[in-house]
Amino acid sequence: MIRKFAIGIIGLIGLILVVFEVTFLATMPEALPENSASAEWLTPGPYATAIAETVFVDETRETAANGDAPSLPNRTFPTSIWYPQDSAGNYPLVIHSHGFVSERTDLGYTAELLASYGYVVVAANFPLTAGGTAGGPNANDLVNQPTDVSFLIDSVLQLSGEAKPFAAEIDSSRIALMGYSLGGVTTTLATYHPRLRDERVKAAVSIAGPTAGLTREFYETSDVPFMMIAGTLDALINFEPNAAIIPSRVRNSILLQIEGGTHLGFGSISEPWFRLMRHPDGLGCTAVLSNMDEDPSAAFRALGDESDGIDMDSAVLTVCETMPTEKALHPGRQQMVTAIATLSFFEMVFNEDPARRTEASEILSRSLPSEMPEASYTESTR
């Protein structure tokens, strides 16, 4: 009897696995056109990659008390570093900032692609906004994160000996930022804020980052190349007031619009786990709203006022007020667009070969929108 029961259980598990595999294969994202330029740029580059884990500790600043968690005398950053393996070149550095209630690997697919093309990509869990934070994630710590980014840049540049996992050297003249959601606005602040910006930043990519309340004057502190990547069906960070305005507000900027793209669709976890959902942002709304103040603008008010180019009184920052009813784009397609766009943008800015920079510009502005119709490209109108 027990043997028959065990055989039945094994058979059921086998059936479930077969169904899962069939479903997985049947719901794969539509492939890129064969031999297309976009497909070539989505293919890993010439370098084998590796990832190292380390912890950086800023002993000069404290972590505030948070809920029932006491204050700490320092700020601690569990950190992942993606890098070209066994290569002794001189490479750009990209600091990635994760989203609210998220973690440092949330754009791992893009970090790995960048590393395969000769970038060192560093992402750390911020002390109070990552998922699993003691006392609960707290968006009000946003004001400290631009300085955290500067600390991470310093920490990586100072790596040496056995503490330095990669053979490459960092080119301190080629430092870039990218960030997702709350990490997107962290990137924007570290690039432009009149007091919190880091002048070493030479390029920046915000992925679904909130910008409502950041006026045209806010962006006048720098003219570094800036790209916003955003989905039109984002329920957490509404497309119109946060992304559509970028070309008219930011000099030397690009808007890469993804038709049908969602907020969670950018996150690594969404592919394949959310590919069967009509729209995954309801899950993100539940996680974010349960950890956010009633006023979603509260975290921004600590950043400054109109004299800093920040006007939260006239801007309305809404989070999850309306859930789109349209079916979302496949998250696999959304991530393809994101990875190709980010790589081509950084190559356009940083590659030392003029021909490669021109090719990257063509990929971003022409090939990608042509070969992936859900993507559209708009340059700054300023």
State the angle between helix axes of 182-192 and 145-157 in degrees (0 to 180), rounded to the nearest 10.
Answer: 70
Beta bridge partners of 203: 176
pTM of the model: 0.94
pLDDT attached to residue 316: 65
Task: Give the helix ranges, DSSP H, for 293-330.
Answer: 298-301
8 A C-beta contact, residue 226 and residue 341: no
| Residue 180 Cα distances to 97, 123, 175, 219, 255, angstroms | 6, 11, 18, 19, 15
Please check whether residue 118 is in contact with residue 45, taking contact to mean a CB–CB distance below 8 angstroms: yes
Strand 253-258 versus strand 375-379 pairing type:
antiparallel
Q: How many residues does this entry show for the chain?
A: 382
Distance CA 285, CA 227 (A): 25
Angle at which helix 108-116 crosses helix 331-350, to 10 degrees, equals: 40
In DSSP notation, 336-347 reads HHHHHHHHHHHH
Please report, in tens digits, the pLDDT of each residue of the chain (382 residues total): 565 555 656 555 554 444 344 455 568 999 998 899 999 999 999 999 999 999 999 999 999 999 999 999 999 999 999 999 988 889 999 999 999 999 999 999 999 999 999 999 999 999 999 999 999 999 999 999 999 999 999 999 999 999 999 999 999 999 999 999 999 999 999 999 999 999 999 999 999 999 999 999 999 999 999 999 999 999 999 999 999 999 999 999 999 999 999 999 999 999 999 999 999 999 999 999 999 887 878 899 999 999 999 998 777 678 898 899 999 999 999 999 999 999 999 999 999 999 999 999 999 999 999 999 999 999 999 8
Residue 130: per-residue pLDDT = 98
pLDDT of residue 298: 87
pLDDT at res. 19: 37
Strand partners, 58: 75
Residue 17: what pLDDT?
43
- Among residues 128, 18, 109, which one has the least CA distance to residue 332? 109
Side-chain-facing half-sphere of 142: CA atoms under 13 Å: 28
User: 211 CB contacts (<8 Å, ≥6 apart)?
Assistant: 185, 188, 228, 241, 242, 243, 245, 246, 249
Q: Residue 279 carries which side chain, given as an amino acid letter?
A: H
Cis ω for the linkage preceding 272 (within 30 of 0): yes
Under 8 Å CB-to-CB from 224, ≥6 apart: which residues? 191, 201, 202, 203, 204, 252
